[in-house]
Every structure is written in structure tokens, then in C-alpha cells.
Structure 1
Amino acid sequence: MAGRNANGEGSVYRRQDGRWEGAFYARTTGGQRKRVRIYAGSRAEVQRKLTSLKTRQAQGIPVADKAWRVAAYLDYWLAHAVQLRRRPLTYRRHEAVTRLYLKPGLGRHSLEGLSVLTVQEFLDNLYQAGQSPASIHQIRKVLSAALTYAVRTELLTRNVARLVELPNYRAREAEYWNAAEVHRFLQAAASDPLYPLFVLLILYGLRSGEARGLRWRDVDFARGELRIRQQVQRIDGAMRAVELKTATSSRDEPLLATAVAVLNERREQQATDRLAAGTGWAGTSEGNELVFTTRSGRPIEARNVYRSFRRICEHHGLSRITLHGLRHTNATTQKDLQVHARDIQAVLGHSDVRMTGLYTHVDIASKRQALTKVEQHLFQQPADGNDRPRCRQEQPSDHFAAAGRRPPPGTKKSADLWQVGALFNDLSGGSSQTRTGDTRLFSKTGGSALARVNLVREVARSQTRVHVLGVVAVSLAVSVSEPGSQITAIQMPPTAIHPGQPGLYC
């Protein structure tokens, strides 16, 4: 029928309340086909939105099965993406940021209507209200993760959180110890019950949760291996053994002699604690028993380890660093000992060598050592007194010719070849004047170009005569040695004879 829209084309009409409405059938993110309605204050605006949605449908992008508000979507994201697929502590951090900042500031906005300007104003207001640049970066990171999931599930076509500008922020470099400070700490902590744990933190650069999550089944004395397979964290008020931070955090370390000594000491102390606790021992079976436990067999709290660490530092005047700073200390020590970055990455269990770079620090002593090498290489005269750089293609005898000196006795080049080499250096500007200006300014022989060419010819003829005389001598020696032989004239090719010389050698 004339004037009727084609199937799927959609329709635009005016409502009784004065607004304009557009509707068409589309495939939704839920996999169903339903009639989608859009509203606007003018016909042109509705037509523009309708055309945009139809274009997305043609590209295979479904429309949302319902109109999401940011607050409702964030709750959905936390429940279906973060809580199910991320570690418990990650969920707790994301939930806190969502509850305290994102939902109060952006929750009322439409998810599809969220723009770069809206997010930019939201973050700017937080910064002006006194939030630190580090907090602003963290808030934007959580929002970006939520919107990335929306893009992945085809609720959005772009992540506007990635397009905003953030205040300048530079993370403070972590504090670490040098070798002398580590020795002082180990001497001070020798009598502390957690001394074996501190040794493993320093020796292997373990995370605190990894060290506290070690089981005796992970310690293989026979094969000399220490296996990192889990970590211990407090989750929802209870101490739990959870998976490691990343896939590469699961690793095997060599069981060094120092580690064997402190682990044997720890095993004896734990056996004593188990006997003293009797039926009150809260540990698990022998195979799954944790290496580091309290006197009653329970996992050690992270804050208790840090309290002991801080107390030792304060009582003995050590510079104050975090417990995680021991991990930085291990990485920096390996770097100072010229350990390859890839090996440091494997020891620490990092997923990316760039992360390892954040754990290796450079102090003034390292800079002095590096610059001293530069000084010795660039500013000190070599032992032979010849500081001219030599290219890879240059032979030793070429080096003497370029320097204007004859080769020493025993070299393969004759004086004539040396002269040719020096002359060619003049013609080409010399190896020390490569690609410079007028090479005639650096000529050693002087004279015109024709004179230099004639000199080349003269040297070439001289070498030809030497070669010819050698051939003649060999021929004569062969002829004389044969019975009944007679000396005959030898005709040489004219091209091998110097002008003005006879053409017959006898």
C-alpha cells in the first residue's frame, strides 16, 4: 500500500503529550527481537536517533535489552563480572570505589548517554573537592573497567572513561635497603620468632601473602625446590588460602642453603608449639600444614608480621620501609649483581618485564659506576696512544695507511700498497672524514687530481713488473731443470710492458 513503511524500516510519529516517538524492531543483547522505542522533543532528533540505531543493527551491533542507569549497571557489573572472575580483594576495592564515588556522582545518568564531558566534570569536581591525584586515577580506573565490560557485552560502542584528562600524578618510588642495612636487620631480627619468614622475604623477594601461604608440601628438601602455589589473605573476616596474584606468580624457586637452615629451624619450633598446644592445635593435616603459623597453629595475620618488622626497625635505628620494600630490595640487589632482567622477572613472578623495571631502583652509587665506565671509555687515552676509532671493515694495515704511517715489519702490505691505500684515503676524504665537506682540504699528497691519478698508475705498473718478473723467473727455472732445454725468448703481452721498455724479456 502506498505510503506504508517497509518491514523493519521503523516509524516516527507524534505523541499526545507533544513529544516525538520512533520505534522499530531490533535484535537486543539478550538475543531476542523486540520493538525498540526512542523519544525526543522534535521529529528531526527522533529521526537522527532512529537512523543511528538502525546503522548499528546493520553493523551487527545489538541494542540494549533495557535502558540502563549507571547505578544499576554498576551493581550488575560487580555481581556478574568482578565477584565471579576477580580475586576477593579486587572485588572489595572495586565495590568500595563504586559505592563511595561512582554511584553518588554518576548513578543517575543513562548508561548510553554517558559522555566524555560528563565524566570529565565528575572527576574535576572530585579533584577540586580535595581528592588526591592518586585517588582520581584509581576512581577513573574502576569506571573504565566497568565501561570496558559494557563495550565487551555490546551495551556500549566506546569507553568514554578512557578519553578524559587526569591530573598529573607520579607514584612515589618505593623505599628499599642496601646490603649493609639488610645485614643489620637480619642481625637484629635473629631472635624474633618470625626470623625465618623475614629471611625468605629477603632471599626470594616473596610477597607477604605468598610466604605466609607456604605449606610443608611445597618445600621439597629432596629435590631442593621451593614451590609457590598459594597465598593467605583475610577475606570477609576470615583467614583464607586463595590463588596467587597472577598466573606467573606460580613458580618454583631453588631451595638455597640459607633457606634450608631457617626452614629446619622453623619445623622444630612448630613441632614444639604443636606439643604445647595439644588438643587446642588449630592446624590442618601434615601435608597441608602451613609453614608459618601462630603458637596455636592458625595462619599468621599480615598486620602482625608488619608490626614485628616495624618494631625491629625502630628499635635498631633502621630506615623505615614497608614490608613490601623487601621485595624491591631483592630486585634491586639482583640488578646490582648484573642479573639479567628476564631472570629477575622469573624469580619475582612478574607477568611482564616492565613491571620488574619498577622494582629495580638506581641509586647514586650505581650512577657513579655507570658514568665512570663512560669516562674511562671516552676520555682516557688508550694504552697504545692511538685513540682513532676503527670501523669494522677496516683491516689493521689500512689503519696505518689512514693514519699516515707505514705498516710495521711483518704486515702483508708492501710500501707501494701502503702508498696506494693512503692515496685512496685522500681521494675519498679518508676514513676520519667520511661524508664531510670538500675532501681536497684533507689531501696529504698535494697537487691536482691528475697528478694523483698518475701516481696511482705508476704504482700499479710497478706492481705489474714485479708480478711479471716473478712469472719469468719461475718459467726459466722450469726450463733449465728439464734435460736438453734451451733458453728461449719469452714474448710478454704489450699491456704488461711499461712504455719505453723493450717488448722482449730474455
Structure 2
Amino acid sequence: MARRRSNGEGTTYPRKDGRWEGAAYVLTTSGERKRVRVYGKTQAEARQRLAELIAQNDQGIPTADKALKLGDYLDYWLTEVVKPNRRPATYAQCETIVRLYLKPGLGDQLINKLSAPLLQRYANQLLADGHSVSKVHVVKKILSTALTRAEREEVVTRNPARLIELPTLEPGEVEPWSITEASQFLTVARSHRLYGAFLLLMLYGLRRGEVLGLRWQDIDTEKNELHLRQQLQRVGQQLLTGPLKTRASKRDLPLLGPVLRALHDYRERHAVRKTELIFTSTQGTPIDPDNFRRTFQTLCKQHGLRVIKMHALRHTAATILKDLGVPARDTQLILGHSRITTTQELYQHTDTNARRSALERLEGALLGPDSKTKTAPSVRSGLPVVVGDDSGSRQLSRQMLKMGDTITSIISGGAYRIRTDDLFHAICCQETVQERVTEMDRKLKVGRRRWLLGVVAVNLAVKERFESDKNTPYI
């Protein structure tokens, strides 16, 4: 007689196409209990998948009530999650990656059927097609972010995008300007219409968008402060002002005299009236960040200066502050970084001359100012160096070796502890070899007497304690 199935156990049965089908009532993501089906090539496979479905339901994890493709979920994620909650530039980047890479390559895949091997093959194919490692890292990051949201919404039970392995992303080497190069640029740019903007980039290490987004109301002449509250960015075909990159980017900086004078001169000679932005085009429209970059690089080429990226001026300011001895914490607050490690690891640079100077200072501190002209002779470890070849020096050296062994035996036996180096130093400061040996012997005798007195005192104390305990009645 066939066993009667329990309520909620589900059922399996063969299909006309030769496969097996399993079905059970489980809780779905819509909040209702529905009959959900699973399939397998054999009855055992169908039963296993059905058991996994029921176990997931028993743990309180809802099951998707319909097969959802990755492309459909990405459209929902962009519209309902990214666009209302992220900056326009972030949404534009995510939309571009989804439209050009994720939907053409993975859009038809069922989101709950995504696996690590499938996504790994897709990432490897992108690299094989010639896409850069940095771009594939961005694709992985955006896909992983979307699947993490799907995991929170219980559309999927795990995020396989986290398991993708990619080549290590090596950031490009930045070579900021030296103090000399920075000073030369400010000299040649003094007559330029946007000199005040270049001065803000160089002195404060501001971001390009922060400079172009500055308003006249951000210049506080009463408190002599510069308030950074917004930035200008290109999003698609539009130039938009928006919030700063992080909370730490919202900062107040002292308004330096040269900056105030440059801004005053710009307002008198070049500013377009009835605009809240400080730096604008001659027609009063916002300056395109790419045009601002091209103006900077053209100015460098015209005057024979080494051309660097405009963002490298931010690295230049951070490095010069480090070379001037400014604490890293102060530099972090000036640049508006959320973490001090970003300031130290990514923005502050050093060169061979700086490293050589640092090591030479260490050499002088450890080996003395004459370390470059004298060669230290090879001596026994832990013993002083005796320079010279006269008979007195050789006699002193032998005496010191002998006494050094005596001192070592006394110390190792728990006797009075005296620093051997200090003792040798005191000896070497005497005027003659005989006086040095005499002083050495005197210090050793003092040490021995103190040690013997300590031993006697300890023995007496132990003996008195023993006699006292022996005479005390046991209770």
C-alpha cells in the first residue's frame, strides 16, 4: 500500500517529455502561498530540487513566484533604486554599463539561474574582446550591486557576482609636479582669465568640479572662509550642479590673501553679472569641465611645462603639503577625503631624492655625522670599538674583553645589573689606560658588594620568616 503524503510534502510525477516535475505550495515574494514547480531529468533529481525548495520555505525564505530575467530586473533596479537615490553621474554610469554590456550579454538569463561559472565565462569573454581590466571591474561592481539588491528583496538567494575572479587592477602611476614646476605654472598663468581657478586647484587641491561649482555666496569675506557645498558635472548632454562626492567633501577652508585678491580681480575684469557661479564662460554659461581641462593643458604646452592631468594637481598639493611637514590629518581635511589612508596611499607621493634624504637623516641619527668618512672595524658583538694601534689601546682592548666576560657571568647569575655599554663608555672617557682599568675594577667591586649584601639580606629575611612560621601554632 502506497504511503500517504504529509501536508506540505509536495509531489513528483513524470511529464510527457520524459522529464520529472515536482510541485509544492510555498510562500512567494508576492506574499501569497502558491504552487511552485521544479524540474529534473530523473525522479531523484526532481525530488532533490523539491526538497531544497521546501527547506528554503521552512527557513522563511520566499520563492520568486515567476521566472524573472536579469535584463528585466536591471531595468527595475535602475528606475526604482538607482535613479531616486544616487547622484545623476552615478545613475548615468550604471545605465551605460547596463545598456552596453550587461543586457546584451546576460539580459536573457533567468536571474535565479545565474551561477559563478556563467558569470566568470562572461567576464573572461569581455577581457578577451579587448576591454580593459578597469572597465571589466566596473561591470562586475555594478552587476554585484544589482544582485545584492535582488538578494535583499529575496528575488535570489545569493549573489554569484561576488565570486568572479579578475586580474588585479593596477592604478596608473601619477607623477605630480614639483614645487618648482607648480610655481612656474602659477607664474605663467597669472595673466590668464582663469588664474583664480588655477590658484584654487593648486593651493587647496580642489576637485575640478568643486572649482567650477563655486558660487559667490560661498566666499565669506567676514570670516575669511571658503565654503565648499556643490560641484559642477557633465551628465550626458547637460551640465548639472549637484552635491559633493562625500560628506567629508563638504568643508570650510581658510580664505588665503592671494586667492581673495585673484577673485576680486576676476570679478572686476571678467565676471559676468547676474550669475551665481564664479567661473563662467564669456557668455555667462557654466564652463564645461572638459574645456577647462583642455585650457589647462594648452597653457602648459604653450610655456614648455610638463603636461599632467588636471586631477594630478590635487596630488601635487597633497605631496607639497607632506614635504612641508604638514600632518596627514590636516591634509586629509583640506582635500576632503573620508579616510586618511586615501590621502597617504593615493595622493601623497615621494621621489628618489626624498627617500635618499630621509635615509641619510636616519644614517646620521644612528651612526653619527662622521659615518660617511669612517669605516667601522669588525669587532666582537656587544663590545666597544677601540680605534688606534698603540700598545696601550691593545692592552685596554684585552682588559675590556676579559672584564666583559666577568660582567656577563655576574649578570647571568642574577647579580647587580649594570649596563656593559655604560661601563665601557665611562672607562673610555678617562685620560689614561691605567685610569680606565682602575675605574673599571672599582665599579666591578661596587657591583659585587651590592650583590653580596642583597644575597645576605634575602637569606636573613627567609630565615626569620621560617622561624616565625615554625613557632606559630597550627589552628
Return the TM-score normalized by structure 1: 0.73
Indicate if the aligned counterparts of 2:38 and 2:50 stay in contact, CA closer than 8 A: yes
Residue number among 332, 353, 360 corresponding to 1:365 in the alignment:
353
- Aligned to 1:13, what secondary structure does the other structure show? strand
Structure 1 residue 261 corresponds to structure 2 residue 261: yes
In structure 1, distance between residues paired with 2:78 and 2:165 = 25
In structure 2, distance between residues paired with 1:432 and 1:26 = 81
Single out whichever of 173-182 and 11-20 deviates more from structure 2.
11-20
Q: Residue 413 of structure 2 aligns with which residue?
A: 427
- Aligned to 1:37, what secondary structure does the other structure show? strand
Question: 2:355 is aligned with what amino acid?
Answer: K
Cα gap change, 1:301/1:51 in structure 2, threshold over 3 Å: closer, same or farther? same
In structure 1, distance between residues paired with 2:68 and 2:141 = 21
Residue number among 349, 352, 355 corresponding to 2:339 in the alignment:
352
RMSD: 3.4
Q: Residue 243 of structure 1 aligns with which residue?
A: 243
Q: Structure 2 regions of 5+ residues with no counterpart?
A: 383-398, 401-405, 422-443, 457-462, 464-475
In structure 2, distance between residues paired with 1:463 and 1:114 = 79
Q: Residue 339 of structure 1 aligns with which residue?
A: 326
In structure 2, distance between residues paired with 1:359 and 1:145 = 27
Q: Residue 211 of structure 1 aligns with which residue?
A: 211
* Paired residues for 1:56-455 under 5 Å: 56-270=56-270, 273-274=272-273, 283-284=274-275, 289-356=276-343, 357-380=345-368, 424-425=410-411, 427=413
In structure 2, distance between residues paired with 1:292 and 1:458 = 81
Q: Residue 10 of structure 1 aligns with which residue?
A: 10
Deviation at 1:346, TM superposition (A): 1.3
In structure 2, distance between residues paired with 1:2 and 1:220 = 87
Deviation at 1:315, TM superposition (A): 0.6
Question: 1:367 is aligned with what amino acid?
Answer: R
In structure 2, distance between residues paired with 1:230 and 1:73 = 33
Pairs aligned (count): 407
Cα gap change, 1:178/1:425 in structure 2, threshold over 3 Å: closer, same or farther? same
- Aligned to 1:112, what secondary structure does the other structure show? helix
Question: 1:265 is aligned with what amino acid?
Answer: D
Deviation at 1:430, TM superposition (A): 7.8
* Paired residues for 1:27-46 under 5 Å: 27-46=27-46
In structure 2, distance between residues paired with 1:23 and 1:47 = 9
Cα gap change, 1:360/1:2 in structure 2, threshold over 3 Å: closer, same or farther? same
Structure 1 residue 48 corresponds to structure 2 residue 37: no
Identity of aligned residues (%): 44
- Aligned to 2:23, what secondary structure does the other structure show? strand
Question: 2:411 is aligned with what amino acid?
Answer: N
- Aligned to 2:172, what secondary structure does the other structure show? coil
Question: 1:337 is aligned with what amino acid?
Answer: L
- Aligned to 1:291, what secondary structure does the other structure show? coil
Indicate if the aligned counterparts of 1:194 and 1:305 stay in contact, CA closer than 8 A: no
Deviations 1:403-426 (A, max 9, x none): x99xxxxxxxxxxxxxx9887425
Question: 2:308 is aligned with what amino acid?
Answer: I
Deviation at 1:58, TM superposition (A): 2.3
In structure 1, distance between residues paired with 2:61 and 2:370 = 70
Cα gap change, 1:30/1:226 in structure 2, threshold over 3 Å: closer, same or farther? farther
Q: Which has the larger radius of gyration?
A: 1
- Aligned to 2:9, what secondary structure does the other structure show? coil
Deviation at 1:5, TM superposition (A): 3.0
Deviation at 1:227, TM superposition (A): 0.8
Cα gap change, 1:456/1:154 in structure 2, threshold over 3 Å: closer, same or farther? same
Indicate if the aligned counterparts of 1:425 and 1:431 stay in contact, CA closer than 8 A: no
Question: 2:84 is aligned with what amino acid?
Answer: L
Q: Structure 1 regions of 5+ residues with no counterpart?
A: 275-282, 390-403, 406-419, 434-451, 465-494, 496-506
Indicate if the aligned counterparts of 1:175 and 1:322 stay in contact, CA closer than 8 A: no
Cα gap change, 1:204/1:23 in structure 2, threshold over 3 Å: closer, same or farther? same
Deviation at 1:204, TM superposition (A): 0.9
